[in-house]
Amino acid sequence: MLFSICFLAISQMSFAQFKSIDGSETGVQPDIPQLQWNRTSDVNPPAQQPVTLVPMPIDKINLDKLVPSNIKKNEQGAIIWFDENYIKLHGLHRASNKADITQQIFKSSKLNPSQDALEFVETVNDEIADFDVYHQYHQDVPVYGAELRVHYKDEITKAINGKLYPEIALDKAQIQLSKETAIASVKQDAITHGTFQEIKNKALIAGDQTQASLVVFHKDGKLENATWAYQISIYLNLHDRWEFFIDATDGSVIEKYPLICTLHNHDHDHEAKPKKVSVMDGAVTANAVDLYGNTVNINTYEVGTDYYMIDASRAMFNSFGSSMPDEPQGVIWTIDAFNTSPQSNNFQYDHVSSSNNNWSGKNTAVSAHYNAGITYEYFVEKFGRNSINGAGGNIISLVNVSDENGNSMENAFWNGAAMFYGNGGSAFDPLAKALDVAGHEISHGVVQSTANLTYQGESGALNESFADVFGAMIDRDDWQMGEDVVNSQFFPSGALRDLQDPHNGAANGDYQGGFQPKHVNEQFTGSQDNGGVHINSGIPNHAFYRFATVVGKDKAERIWYRALTTYLTASSQFIDLRLATIRAAEDLYGATEVNALRTAMDDVGILDGQGGSYQNDVELNEGEDFLVMTNINNENVYIANLTSSEVVQISDKDPISKPS
């Protein structure tokens, strides 16, 4: 008979206590009747003293102590994953109401029901299974980065993942700083990083120009470093966007970092025309020349006697909600910045327009507009995603953007609501030229609208990596990024980054020249580049490459998209990428893809223990569970069937130590 055996470390206080058995001293295994056992608090008896068995039903045993919890924690102690074995053990089926699930999570996570809450946010209808989203609160205040996702399939809970912070012990009496004071101090600090300008066109930013909220923040992510803090996001201008965390107990700055997602981690007078009246004339097309000198077909929009670089031909266009051309909804929209800087007081921008639908001399705008359309179609065709936000939101590109000194900007960036393209210079050609650059920047918007990965450290490296992966899949002829716009004098390989070879022909540590680590043992640990968001993205980039070359790009991109939209959350780290992509591979495919993915992650050093001392559980074989134990004097070895309550001696050899 084959048994599936759980070898558990159990304290002596938890051992069953048995009578002495005749014949055991002679080495002859006796015929043992079916027995019942009881957890007891008796102390060790004197040597040779018989021990009395007390019958007790199996269902009275505390199974939490007998079966592995199968909960993964990160090195700071935050819980990041409840696996399927845990869920089966506790019977967390969808038929149970949400209160049952949250009650069990509270019990297992050491959350305090009188202080903490898991607030239900929404149910997301997924292509394979639904999932419920919860946010953790402490004393009615959100815990920053604490989000839980409960995944269902066929009415059965299949996985619970995210991040929870147990054992928070804060008192609101500790708060000494008002929100208004915190905002004022942030504005004073922020102006040292750029020029503050009132932004009137709200379509070009995400949310309000300044947003502030009270949160529970864990300094360095550690459980013991919880404090009250104000999370403040501020746009100084259309280029400079910053995130601050201000300690609400003493007013100190805990953390601050820029939120602008740039293509590269270093940046090597026009009067606006009067606005047009809102007359709905309609979508048209035009043949136009792009930055390669190729003639491409673009979608434009006619209003009166003028034409605008607005693509209203897609299914997402909302004609009833639009006032054309200034307030369109559901369009791909390209805007001219007239070689001015969003960081300066003279920043100007307006429509790219034509009186006859001829776009001669506007090659940069043509390329940006055309590439945005290809990127839109990629997400629709591959994943059924309706624009950046998944709900038909505008895709906006600004071209001819200069840097803060008025020079041609050698970069491109996503500011939370729109793409901004510089015209390059010594190191770059005009950035709008490259399809993978457009794909990269627009993908930042997709990341923001889904997992919203924090743009710092490993989360930020994942943010950059997903933008690279989708950029490479949109322009899928090779594994390089920016190869059509970089100067090889600055980037030896002729590419900005390379998923196949993240070292990219550059010297070790030459991050400006395109070098990236491709294994965790090379991971950058400094503070520059927001903790290496561009630098360390080479590690997950290379994992994707290694996986895609085994299973194919189609499967790989689908798994990565599912991991991003279904399992990852704002605070996810490299370990979470491994867990999320493996789970996504299980959802979509089978053992071949799962094993190939594990190998790819192993090859780049993203292991179950990546980032710290994660708790790892051995996968259980199919079959019944048995408890392996010895008696109170560490004599003989027994197994107990957790279902039938039967206890059987399997060896008369005394164990050297407790089963573990």
- Among 534, 542, 557, 593, the active-site one is 534
Assess contact for 605 and 521: CB atoms under 8 A.
yes
Bond before 325 cis per omega within 30 degrees: yes
Shortest CA distance to 460 belongs to which of 245, 136, 243, 254?
A: 243
* Backbone phi, psi, residue 123, to 5°: -105, 130
Q: What are phi and psi of 594, to 5 degrees?
A: -65, -45
State the Cα–Cα distance between residues 494 and 307, nearest whole angstrom. 38
Q: Distance (Å, rounded) from C-alpha 148 to C-alpha 568?
A: 10
Give CA 370 to chain center in angstroms: 29
Cross-strand bridge partners of residue 399? 336
> Residue holding tokens 């077909």?
297
Q: Which of 441, 464, 483, 593 is catalytic?
A: 441
Sign of CA pseudo-dihedral 546, 552, 556, 557: positive
Residues for the chain: how many in total? 660
**534 tagged catalytic:** yes
The answer to whether 519 is a known catalytic residue is no
Residue type, 485: V
Q: Is 390 left (phi over 0), alpha (psi -120 to 50) or beta?
A: left
| Angle in degrees, 0-180, between the axes of helices 591-604 and 538-551, rounded to the nearest 10 | 150
Strands in 282-289's sheet, in edge-to-edge order, are 282-289, 295-303, 306-308, 353-354
Secondary structure class of 528 (helix, strand, coil): helix
CA of residue 398 relative to chain centroid, distance: 27
Helix, strand, coil percentages in the chain from 3-state DSSP, rounded to 5: 25, 25, 50
Is residue 653 packed enough to be buried (19+ CB in 10 Å), middle (13-18) or exposed (0-12)? exposed
With residue 370 as reference, give the H or E element that holds it.
Answer: helix 363-383
Query: Which token pair is 498?
Result: 């390379």
DSSP strand E in 478-618: where?
Answer: 480-481, 497-498
Both tokens assigned to 7: 């070898």
Other beta carbons within 10 angstroms of residue 485's beta carbon come to 23
Active site residues: 441, 534
